[in-house]
Chain A
Amino acid sequence: MRRRLVALLALGGVFLATYLTLYKLGLIGTLACSIGECETVQTSRWATFLGLPVAAWGIGFYLLVFVLALLWSESALSESRALGWTMAALTGWGVLFSTWLTYLELYVIHAICTWCVVSAILATVLFVVVLAERPWRSPELAA
């Protein structure tokens, strides 16, 4: 059940990150520079990471979590501890990265982008739900 919840949340995250990427690329909203805080965040030099918009990395992250969560809940791999650990590590990394981005917004850029914060919360929820599955437990023991 929880694994399916992870898949659903991650799918929502894919759309959220797609929105932020389209916004960054100027395909959503007027092509203009405005005084808004989202604008400030998205045009800052931290909005790009290794040559790609941070939001585009977000799409990749949520897509990967989504696919792995489907495998984890629906396929024969649901018994795999390695997959459980991968889910924990991946979503844990998501929390760390989101924390770093939120720190930048609050203390370096001094502006808050609402949907970026929603993404940070979503990443945290994903991690918590994955942990609630206790992926370190071996299936044999549980059975």
Chain B
Amino acid sequence: MGKDRVGSNKGRRPGVVKETRKSSNRAFYIALAAVALGGIAVLSYLTTRSASRQVIEVDPTLPPVEAVGYVLGKADAPIEVLEFADFECPGCAQFAILTAPDVKQRLVETGQIRLRLMDFPLQMHRNAWTASLSAACANEQGKFWEMHDAIFAAQDRWNTQATGNPLKVMVELAGGIGLDVSQFANCVETRKYQANVQAHMKEAERRGVSATPSFIIGGKLIPGAIGYDTFKAYVDSALAGVSAPR
């Protein structure tokens, strides 16, 4: 700066230099303010925008679900909600821990909906497959939902960041909910239900699911860990047969 100042001042009257500096100062302050305000505006836009989710209509001509998934609720419930979940996804764990208990108690048990869950282990989650296979093997012993809850509650103990051997934790969890542990371990190790999990993933891909958790409620695909009120609103509009609120 020292050099510039000396160089640029050469041959100019002091008053002129003063004026130029003053106006260049003003330009600099305006530029600083513009960057600051612009940054704040963009950030606040982005944080508020996340409230409105990208809901898309599911192609109504798609064939009905072929894979069985894991069903909770009565066979004669008026609507079926499909959930696609990745056991290693933190968003899925949040839904399972915070929202799912209310959904079960207030919507499933009251006979308003039937929930059908399907696995969608994402490639980036290296331990998700072990969890999906473990849940399937718990299902074999009639305890899928108990295992589902246990797996999500312990997610930070068996995820990719925590361990390279998720099966060890799975066996522990299986013992905790009273499964026959040796049958369970054998079932997971031989990947007995691999084809089922693959069938679930195929259903997800066919429906254009690109994030977990995702829900299909009354012909609408809703991505993200939605809260109970939002979930209920979609259920209500599906029940009423009108379009869902934003």
B-binding residues in A (CB < 8 A): 1, 3-4, 7-8, 11-12, 14-15, 18-19, 22, 26-36, 39-40, 43-45, 72-73, 78-79, 133, 137, 139, 142-143
Contact = CB atoms under 8 A, between A and B. Distances in A.
A14 B39 contact: yes
B3 A143 contact: yes
Contacts of A40: 124
B47 A34 contact: no
A40 B160 CA distance: 13
A50 to B, nearest CB: 15
A30 B53 contact: yes
A108 B35 CA distance: 34
8 contacts: A8-B35, A11-B36, A15-B43, A26-B90, A26-B91, A32-B91, A32-B225, A137-B3
B211 A32 contact: yes
A135 B141 CA distance: 71
B35 A32 contact: no
Contact of A18 (B32, B43, B89, B124): B43
B2 to A, nearest CB: 4
A26 B224 CA distance: 11
B210 interface: yes
Contact of B1 (A14, A19, A34, A73): A73
Contacts of A137: 3
Contacts of B210: 34-36
A19 B43 contact: yes
B47 A28 contact: yes
B122 A35 contact: yes
Contacts of A45: 160-161
A11 B223 contact: no
Contacts of A31: 90-91, 94, 224-225
A44 B125 CA distance: 9
Interface residues of B, number: 41
Contacts, number: 101
A39 B124 contact: yes
Interface in B71-115: 86, 88-92, 94
Interface of B: 1-4, 6, 28, 31-32, 35-36, 38-40, 42-43, 46-47, 50, 53-54, 86, 88-92, 94, 122-125, 160-161, 210-214, 223-225
A142 B35 CA distance: 32
B212 A33 contact: yes
Given A8-B32, A34-B210, A45-B161, A28 B223 contact: no
B39 A15 contact: yes
B179 to A, nearest CB: 27
B39 A34 contact: no
A30 B4 contact: no
A100 B91 CA distance: 29
Given A12-B39, A32-B225, A33-B212, A79 B2 contact: yes
Contacts of A14: 39
A32 B223 contact: yes
